[in-house]
A and B are shown apart, each in its own frame.
Chain A
Amino acid sequence: MRLTDQNSDPEGFVEPERGEEVGKTLHRIFLFLYLQFAFYWATIAAGMFVNYYYVIPSNLQPNFTSIFLQLFAAPSLFAHVAFAVLSTSMSIPVIVLAMRVKLKQVVLLHAGAITARMVGFVCGMLFMYFGTSSITNGDLDNLSTFIMASVFLTAVILTFMSRIFIVSEDVRIKFQVPAPTLTG
Chain B
Amino acid sequence: MEDAKLDAALKGEEIGNLGLVGLRLTLKLCYANFIAYLVLYVTGMYINIYITGGVTTIGISDPSNMIHMVTAILNFVFTFIVMVVGFLYAMRKVAMFSLGAVVCLIVGTLGGLVFLETGGGRLSGADTLAGGWIMSILFMLALFLSYYATLKIMRAIKVLEATNRI
Binding site for B on A (CB under 8 A): 37, 40-41, 44-45, 48-49, 51-53, 138, 142, 145-146, 149-150, 153, 160, 163-164, 167-168, 170-172, 174-177
Contact = CB atoms under 8 A, between A and B. Distances in A.
A37 B146 CA distance: 13
A164 B151 CA distance: 7
B132 A176 contact: no
A12 B46 CA distance: 48
Contacts of B137: 41, 44-45, 48
- Say whether chain B's binding surface is mostly helix, strand, loop, or mixed: helix
Given A44-B137, A146-B49, A153-B41, A175 B162 contact: yes
Interface of B: 1, 6, 9, 38, 41-42, 45-46, 48-50, 53-54, 122, 129, 132-133, 136-137, 140-141, 144, 147, 151, 154-155, 158-159, 162-163
Contact of A142 (B42, B53, B133): B53
Nearest to A49: B133
B132 A175 contact: no
B162 A171 contact: yes
Contacts of A168: 158
B85 to A, nearest CB: 19
